């Protein structure tokens, strides 16, 4: 199975990755080969098998709804590429 | 002090007998790093001041009698664990300048035990790779042969250990990233049961598979390091709330009557004949030590690679969605608008293997393909896990090769993702099933390159694996070999 370039470009858009036309062609080739490998699974009947999402059967634990974290606003903002007046700074999204 | 031949256990004893101090031990590690790290590129961030300060505290603890077996021991930390105040990059341009405001639970526990952290080790970018060739900070070389890869993704930790630039190292293992590099560099590497070690502060790759563990010379050292790393953590919702046994105390038990299964599917055509011979010898030795060897079958083994390369990239594509250039990490220059900020930041911040896996994961999760790929793979995952459950009704441990061959040459597989993916063929099943696995040095090939065997245990039975590995090491000397640098 070969992946059309349009599909590769669509997936790149979903993944928020800018790719060049040249890259799209490389990905189309490589992903097709990898997907070919995955086609092996089609040989295996799995209609009656329940999907397994985790290795251990764990129920999500609950905890009391209490404030536990200290105020780390400054420490967290210090990790940001750009911040201003206690906020993360991003390009304008509305005109 | 003959640093390369120290183990954690022997150094801990020497520290207590006053043969040398933690400061002296740390200085010796720093000298070796100075001499060899430039060429090997095992560490990508060093913290000599932090290490010497920790060693000073360790010496005080040793004097006051308040020390653990890790107090004063120089260790290397894979650069996937967040370290407060110390750059944590995951070997990606995306996090090249990221200084975390908190410690991962593993880091906190090792600091509390008094271990001396020398620095952060190189890895495949975001742990995606089997050769440490995808790092933004350059390749790491194998100390046994510098023209070869050290394995991956924990290749920096493996090289730091093998070159004796530390006495113990941490790794993480999503599809073999502790066991495979351990096998290729002559180390003992243990991937614990999923949930045994907290993932808090460990940068996520595939959350249902990721697990941290120790890389050391011996099973005894692995027991000591795992002891400090393991345990329930309320900060990780998948952490298992079960008591941690005293691993070192269980090491010396007899393995008489231990039932070891050998799955035929792992000894097929692709296996290097030299490895096959070495593993035959290992089976004979285990028999001599009183274990009983059984042939077993894990019939879904061949489906592991396609299953893993659907599930792991799917989880990765979700996990890596957080790198958007806003709250932390890299941001592209002069973004025109928000969409430009996202797409350019991610295009420039991620390397090609990471992008390939994000693309793959996004594709298999995308509308119309979810059932055919992702759901299908989740079903096959249950069949693979079921194989192990069945086998463990008959046997206590499984014995397999860790890798299909010894360390390959730099660049040999880096242009061919599918060939690279196949190097994980014997390790990824264990992650899919959530089981503990350990790689133990068990021989060398014609060029003197190390080989590893893998022991796989039942969930939470790390102690059984360690006991068998220890018994093997009491009777062999493969774990005592050191590379000539």
Which domain CATH number covers A16?
1.10.20.60
d(CA B124, CA B107): 20
What distance in Å separates residue B302's CA from the closest CA in chain A?
Answer: 9
| B210-242 pLDDT tens trace | 999 999 999 999 999 999 999 999 999 999 999
Domain presence at residue B439 = no
Q: Is B232 on the interface with A (CB under 8 A)?
A: no
Question: pLDDT tier at A1 (50, 70, 90 boundaries)?
Answer: low
Domain that holds residue B96: 3-235+245-252
**Short-list B261, B186, B184, B187, CA closest to B219:** B187
Q: Nearest residue of A to residue B208 by CA position? A: A54
Pairing of strands B397-401, B116-121: unpaired
Interface predicted TM-score (ipTM) = 0.94
Domain presence at residue B166 = yes
Domain presence at residue A73 = no
The number of distinct structural domains making up chain B is 1
Domain presence at residue B476 = no
- Across-strand partners of B43? B121
Average pLDDT, chain B: 97
Q: Are B341 and B325 in contact (CB under 8 A)?
A: yes
Which residues, 6+ apart, have CB-to-CB distance to B396 below 8 Å?
B258, B259, B260, B457, B458, B461, B464
- In the prediction, which pLDDT does B27 show? 98
**Coil vs helix vs strand at B117:** strand
Domain presence at residue B49 = yes
d(CA B75, CA B110): 9
Residues of A in contact with B203 (CB under 8 A): none
The half-sphere exposure of B302 on its side-chain side, counting CA atoms within 13 A, is 14
Cβ of B346 within 8 Å of Cβ of A16? The answer is: yes
Domain presence at residue B85 = yes
Domain presence at residue A71 = no
Residue B206 belongs to a domain with what CATH number? 3.90.1300.10
Domain presence at residue B342 = no
Domain presence at residue B297 = no
Alpha-helical segments (H) within B178-303: 179-185, 219-229, 247-250, 273-288
Domain presence at residue B471 = no
Q: Are B334 and B385 in contact (CB under 8 A)?
A: no
Residuewise pLDDT in 10s, chain B (485 residues): 999 999 999 999 999 999 999 999 999 999 999 999 999 999 999 999 999 999 999 999 999 999 999 999 999 999 999 999 999 999 999 999 999 999 999 999 999 999 999 999 999 999 999 999 999 999 999 999 999 999 999 999 999 999 999 999 999 999 999 999 999 999 999 999 999 999 999 999 999 999 999 999 999 999 999 999 999 999 999 999 999 999 999 999 899 999 999 999 999 887 889 999 999 999 999 999 999 999 999 999 999 999 999 999 999 999 999 999 999 999 999 999 999 999 999 999 999 999 999 999 999 999 899 999 999 999 999 999 999 999 999 999 999 999 999 999 999 998 888 888 888 899 999 999 999 999 999 999 999 999 999 999 999 999 999 999 999 999 999 999 999 99
Domain presence at residue A69 = no
Pairing of strands B292-296, B259-263: parallel
Q: Are B124 and B132 in contact (CB under 8 A)?
A: yes
Domain that holds residue A14: 5-43
Q: Nearest residue of B to residue A9 by CA position? A: B359
The number of distinct structural domains making up chain A is 1
B317 is catalytic: no
Cβ of A81 within 8 Å of Cβ of B329? The answer is: yes
């Amino acid at each position: 199975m070969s992946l059309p370039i349009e599909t590769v470009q669509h997936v790149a858009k979903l993944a928020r990755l800018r790719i060049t036309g040249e890259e799209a062609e490389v990905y189309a080739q490589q992903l097709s080969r990898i997907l070919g490998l995955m086609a092996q699974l089609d040989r295996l009947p799995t209609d009656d098998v329940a999907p397994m999402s985790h290795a251990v059967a764990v129920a999500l634990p609950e905890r009391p709804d209490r404030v536990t974290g200290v105020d780390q606003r400054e420490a967290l903002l210090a990790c940001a590429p750009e911040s201003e007046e206690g906020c993360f700074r991003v390009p304008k999204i509305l005109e | 002090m003959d640093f390369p031949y120290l183990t954690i256990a022997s150094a801990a004893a020497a520290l207590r007998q006053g043969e040398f101090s933690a400061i002296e031990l740390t200085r010796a590690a720093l000298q070796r790093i100075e001499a060899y790290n430039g060429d090997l590129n095992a560490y990508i961030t060093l913290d000599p001041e932090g290490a010497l300060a920790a060693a000073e505290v360790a010496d005080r603890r040793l004097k006051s009698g308040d020390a653990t077996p890790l107090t004063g021991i120089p260790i290397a930390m894979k650069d996937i664990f967040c370290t407060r105040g110390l750059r944590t990059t995951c070997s990606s341009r995306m996090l090249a300048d990221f200084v975390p405001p908190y410690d991962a639970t593993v880091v906190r526990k090792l600091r509390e035990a008094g271990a001396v952290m020398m620095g952060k080790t190189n890895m495949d970018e975001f742990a995606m790779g089997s050769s440490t060739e995808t790092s933004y900070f350059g390749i790491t070389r194998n100390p046994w042969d510098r023209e070869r890869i050290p394995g991956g993704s924990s290749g920096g930790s493996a090289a730091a250990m093998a070159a004796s630039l530390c006495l113990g190292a941490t790794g993480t293992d999503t599809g073999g990233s502790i066991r495979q590099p351990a096998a290729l560099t002559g180390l003992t590497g243990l991937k614990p049961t999923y949930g045994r070690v907290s993932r808090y502060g460990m940068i996520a790759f595939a959350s249902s598979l990721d697990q941290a563990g120790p890389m050391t010379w011996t099973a005894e050292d692995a027991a000591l390091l795992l002891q400090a790393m393991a345990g329930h953590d309320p900060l990780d919702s998948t952490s298992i709330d079960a008591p941690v046994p005293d691993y070192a105390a269980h090491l010396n038990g007899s393995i008489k009557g231990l039932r070891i299964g050998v799955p035929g599917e792992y000894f097929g055509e692709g296996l290097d004949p030299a490895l096959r011979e070495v593993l035959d010898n290992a089976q004979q030795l285990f028999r001599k030590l009183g274990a009983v060897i059984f042939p077993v079958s894990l019939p879904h083994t061949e489906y592991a690679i396609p299953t893993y390369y659907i599930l792991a990239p799917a989880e990765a594509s979700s996990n890596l969605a957080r790198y958007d250039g806003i709250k932390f990490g890299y941001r592209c220059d002069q973004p025109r608008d928000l969409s430009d900020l996202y797409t350019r930041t991610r295009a420039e911040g991620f390397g090609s293997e990471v992008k390939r896996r994000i693309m793959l994961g996004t594709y298999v999760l995308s509308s119309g393909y979810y059932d055919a790929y992702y759901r299908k793979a989740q079903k096959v995952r249950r069949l693979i896990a079921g194989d192990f459950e069945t086998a463990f009704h008959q046997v206590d441990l499984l014995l397999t090769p860790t890798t299909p061959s010894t360390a390959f040459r730099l660049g040999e597989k880096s242009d061919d993702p599918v060939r690279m993916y196949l190097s994980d063929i014997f390790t990824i099943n264990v992650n899919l099933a959530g089981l503990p696995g350990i790689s133990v040095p068990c021989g060398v090939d014609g060029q003197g390159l190390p080989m590893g065997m893998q022991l796989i245990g039942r969930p939470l039975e790390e102690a059984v694996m360690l006991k068998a590995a220890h018994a093997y090491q009491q009777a062999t000397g493969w774990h005592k070999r050191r590379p000539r640098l």
